A and B are shown apart, each in its own frame.
Chain A
Amino acid sequence: MTPVEQKETAMQYVDEFRDPALAKSLLKQIARVAAQISRPANRPLQIMEVCGGHTHAIFRYGIEQLLPPNIELVHGPGCPVCVLPMGRVDDCIAIAEQPDLILATFGDAMRVPGSKKSLLQAKAEGCDIRIVYSPMDALELARQNPLKRVVFFGLGFETTMPSTALTLLQAEQEGLSNFYLFSNHITIIPTLRAMLEEPDMSIDGFLGPGHVSMVIGEAPYDFIASEFNRPLVISGFEPLDMLQSLLMVLQQISRGEARIENQYRRIVNSAGNDPAQRAVEAVFELREHFEWRGLGSIDHSGVRIRERFARFDAEREFALPNQSIVDPAECQCGEVLKGQLKPVNCRLFGKTCTPDKPMGALMVSSEGACAAYFKYGAPQLIATAGGEG
């Protein structure tokens, strides 16, 4: 008996990139090209998907276990929630605990542990914390609550920066005096460089973050090819996008090439998005350094609000503890991030470190490699227990 197929609830620009038949032929090509690449024994090709959205999709669609065994996907640092250091969460809670204040945040941040508690716990203790879909919704809260201070917890990479920048510009235009931004925005390029500069860096190629790229364009990745001789293919987020990008990376490796390519042309313009870049440039400036959970401090990897917008800056408005809290010594997130260790081989995985009580960065959000392994299952487990049928 075959499953009953429901009538398709098609979504344009989504469903056509989830076609299982096309995926099969892509997988065949991937296997063919991967087989042509000569490798030392026991050393699979390591391809890093930089972006947490890719990590999520890889697990959501069960892509990893469809790949030939000589390809290993390494789940990169592109999850802004995972890499948020505990000290910044503590700062955010210190803000939320002020009287007559509403803290607005994306839902992702609610469970990220600080040194003592998460925002979810702070909310349970009485803080007024609201989950919003857009920073513009936080601005609306400020309009509706003129007697309260409304602070937006700004999180995310270059994709999200323009939206908070534009929200701040809007707040300025309206002359709102009760709206603040707590900027924890980070930028991926310096972190990629820092990882590539590590002496034991073993990644053979990269899937580039599609939605970051639609803002910054292709050029910022050039150094990966020119200085480090690794290919990078900017990839979309549907399963066919990712398989096609993977094939493009493998084709480059098999030909001994290292170039920056763009698979996601329907969304990513090679120069990026000009209005978005201008908004970011107007509002933000690079910090000297910013701390990443699991990776430590990285130069020029975060942005703060420019002097001109000081009156909207939560860091200037509130006296923050601003403490750096070191990750637990037992955590091996750094090694997992660099592809030297699989999540399941971490000594804490599933024992003292679970999505309920995460110890390390990668267990924090469902985009973190460890949380994804825990939630959706390591490929080996699926292959042995549920793959057939």
Chain B
Amino acid sequence: MNKPETGFKADTITLAHGSGGRAMRDLIEGVFVEIFDNFQLSSLEDQARIILSDLQSCGDRLAFTTDSYVVDPIEFPGGNIGTLAVNGTLNDLAVSGARPLYLSCSMIIEEGLELDQLKRIVCSMKQAADAANMQIVTGDTKVVPRGKADKLFINTSGLGVIPAGINPQASGCRPGDKILVNGFIGDHGATILNARGELALDVELESDCQPLHELVECLLHVCPEVHAMRDATRGGLAAVLNEFAEQSKVSVKLWESAIPLRPEVRGVCEILGLDPLHFANEGKLVAVVPAEAAASVLKAMQAHPAGRDAAMIGEVQADAVGRVFIETGFGGTRILDTLNGEQLPRIC
């Protein structure tokens, strides 16, 4: 990641950088305004001003979402908290079918954070936003005393516009629909678990953190009537499918052997007794589409780099039990529930 030279000089962030005084102004202008580099920020007003007619030309509804990002460690193979904060919010917009346009960025920094690390993260946010033609147009910075936060927390809100006629909904699944996912499951969760180092495993894995708006565009191009779509972040595939089943009052049947899983993720799960279907993903979406469109959607997804390993993993069934069933590779069936809390490694 290239690290542009900025005029701002200081080795670590201190409380002064959040005080509202000169140091804060230096931080904002020397890091955020300079790196994010757009006229909305450069004007240093208290708000971004967005021209309505530009939005109206893209569709008939605004999509508006917010998410806060806390992750330990804040930099990990395949990304950092900044790429998560951009792509995560971007993806929350994208899975509505929206074209993502604007982001806010609010940071809570623990004093003592190294400036170089902050700049690396801010730079990767800029790159991620640029890659999706999004602009980070407003923001805020707070610095809290050591121990009152864990290095860096980021909140981003996102604004996008949904084209007319596109309306995927968690309650939209219909019996017979097919369930598609755009690639390997659990990479992010396994990467973070490994990056923390507490369990002393050694494995080459990268977070799947990536933007999904282009993939969604390809998908909608062949199937504008997609019934339901979500990105499978916290709680993993299990949480998304349970929400679909509950809200649509159907049951979901998964074919376990069809779910794309990297050997390394499987290895981590076998050693620690974990279920990859509960691992977080940061670049995976689940799409529920009418059966007759499934093959062409799958093909369209596989043609895009973000969907190269896409697979059809299950179908919607009529039973109104609101549950997810997995047909195991072995021939049996079990329920896939959502977790009550964090998934913990087990020895028994």
Check if B313 is an interface residue, CB within 8 A of chain A.
yes
Q: Are A9 and B262 in contact (CB under 8 A)?
A: yes
Q: Tally chain B residues at the interface, Cβ within 8 Å.
A: 52
* Chain A residues closer than 8 Å to B55, beta-carbon distance: none
Bound-state CA distance A106–B330 (Å) is 29
Bound-state CA distance A107–B341 (Å) is 13
Check if B128 is an interface residue, CB within 8 A of chain A.
no
Q: Are B332 and A62 in contact (CB under 8 A)?
A: yes
Interface hit among B84-92, B160-168, B224-232, B252-260: B252-260
Within the complex, the shortest CB–CB distance from B215 to chain A, in Å, comes to 17
Q: Are A6 and B348 in contact (CB under 8 A)?
A: no
Check if A341 is an interface residue, CB within 8 A of chain B.
no
Bound-state CA distance A32–B330 (Å) is 21
CB < 8 Å neighbour of B346 from A23, A366, A377, A387: A366
Bound-state CA distance A65–B328 (Å) is 12
Q: Are B325 and A382 in contact (CB under 8 A)?
A: yes
Q: Which residues of chain A from 104 to 119 have a CB within 8 Å of any chain B CB?
A: 106-108, 110-111
B199 — nearest CB in chain A belongs to which residue? A133
Bound-state CA distance A80–B312 (Å) is 39
* Chain B residues closer than 8 Å to A108, beta-carbon distance: 344, 346-348
Q: Which residues of chain B from 308 to 348 have a CB within 8 Å of any chain A CB?
A: 311-315, 317, 319, 321, 323, 325-335, 337, 340-341, 344-348
Bound-state CA distance A367–B348 (Å) is 8
* Chain B residues closer than 8 Å to A387, beta-carbon distance: 333
Bound-state CA distance A81–B344 (Å) is 13
Q: Are A3 and B255 in contact (CB under 8 A)?
A: yes
Check if A59 is an interface residue, CB within 8 A of chain B.
yes
A382 — nearest CB in chain B belongs to which residue? B333
B337 — nearest CB in chain A belongs to which residue? A375
* Chain A residues closer than 8 Å to B325, beta-carbon distance: 377, 382, 385-386
CB < 8 Å neighbour of A20 from B200, B298, B329, B347: B329
Q: Are B328 and A61 in contact (CB under 8 A)?
A: yes
Bound-state CA distance A64–B313 (Å) is 24
Q: Are B178 and A1 in contact (CB under 8 A)?
A: yes
Check if A60 is an interface residue, CB within 8 A of chain B.
yes
Q: Which residues of chain B from 245 to 275 have a CB within 8 Å of any chain A CB?
A: 251, 253, 255, 257-263, 266-267, 270-272
Q: Are B312 and A385 in contact (CB under 8 A)?
A: no
Check if B295 is an interface residue, CB within 8 A of chain A.
yes
Within the complex, the shortest CB–CB distance from A191 to chain B, in Å, comes to 15
* Chain B residues closer than 8 Å to A72, beta-carbon distance: none
Check if A24 is an interface residue, CB within 8 A of chain B.
yes
B320 — nearest CB in chain A belongs to which residue? A385
Q: Are B270 and A11 in contact (CB under 8 A)?
A: yes
* Chain B residues closer than 8 Å to A64, beta-carbon distance: 332
A372 — nearest CB in chain B belongs to which residue? B334
Bound-state CA distance A140–B231 (Å) is 39
CB < 8 Å neighbour of B344 from A3, A107, A355: A107
Check if B190 is an interface residue, CB within 8 A of chain A.
no
Within the complex, the shortest CB–CB distance from B253 to chain A, in Å, comes to 6
Most buried by B among A107, A134, A356: A107
Within the complex, the shortest CB–CB distance from B325 to chain A, in Å, comes to 3
Q: Are A63 and B317 in contact (CB under 8 A)?
A: no
CB < 8 Å neighbour of A377 from B262, B317, B335, B345: B335
Within the complex, the shortest CB–CB distance from B331 to chain A, in Å, comes to 4
* Chain A residues closer than 8 Å to B261, beta-carbon distance: 6, 9
Q: Are A61 and B345 in contact (CB under 8 A)?
A: no
Bound-state CA distance A160–B347 (Å) is 9
Q: Are A62 and B333 in contact (CB under 8 A)?
A: yes
Bound-state CA distance A18–B328 (Å) is 10
Q: Which residues of chain A from 56 to 81 have a CB within 8 Å of any chain B CB?
A: 59-66, 79-81
CB < 8 Å neighbour of B200 from A137, A367, A385: A137
Check if A94 is an interface residue, CB within 8 A of chain B.
no
Check if A381 is an interface residue, CB within 8 A of chain B.
yes
Q: Are B334 and A61 in contact (CB under 8 A)?
A: yes
Q: Which residues of chain A from 258 to 288 have a CB within 8 Å of any chain B CB?
A: none
Bound-state CA distance A367–B346 (Å) is 10
Within the complex, the shortest CB–CB distance from A270 to chain B, in Å, comes to 24
B272 — nearest CB in chain A belongs to which residue? A133
Given contacts A23-B330, A375-B337, contact A3 B313 (CB under 8 A): yes
* Chain B residues closer than 8 Å to A137, beta-carbon distance: 198-200
Q: Are B317 and A389 in contact (CB under 8 A)?
A: yes
* Chain A residues closer than 8 Å to B331, beta-carbon distance: 20, 23-24, 62, 66
Within the complex, the shortest CB–CB distance from B332 to chain A, in Å, comes to 2
Within the complex, the shortest CB–CB distance from A254 to chain B, in Å, comes to 25
B267 — nearest CB in chain A belongs to which residue? A11
Bound-state CA distance A356–B338 (Å) is 12
Check if B294 is an interface residue, CB within 8 A of chain A.
yes
Q: Are B257 and A9 in contact (CB under 8 A)?
A: no
Q: Are A156 and B335 in contact (CB under 8 A)?
A: no
CB < 8 Å neighbour of A132 from B198, B260, B332, B334: B198
Check if A376 is an interface residue, CB within 8 A of chain B.
yes
Q: Are B347 and A9 in contact (CB under 8 A)?
A: no
* Chain A residues closer than 8 Å to B257, beta-carbon distance: 3, 5-6
Q: Which residues of chain A from 361 to 384 have a CB within 8 Å of any chain B CB?
A: 365-367, 375-377, 381-382
Check if A334 is an interface residue, CB within 8 A of chain B.
no
B294 — nearest CB in chain A belongs to which residue? A1
Bound-state CA distance A107–B348 (Å) is 10
Check if A162 is an interface residue, CB within 8 A of chain B.
no
Check if B291 is an interface residue, CB within 8 A of chain A.
yes
- 4 further A-B contacts with Cβ under 8 Å, apart from A66-B331, A355-B340, are A1-B291, A6-B311, A9-B263, A108-B347
Q: Sorted from nearest, which 6 A-B pairs have the closest CB atoms? A: A62-B332, A386-B325, A107-B344, A377-B335, A9-B263, A107-B345
Q: Which residues of B contact A (CB under 8 A)?
A: 178, 198-201, 251, 253, 255, 257-263, 266-267, 270-272, 291, 294-295, 298, 311-315, 317, 319, 321, 323, 325-335, 337, 340-341, 344-348
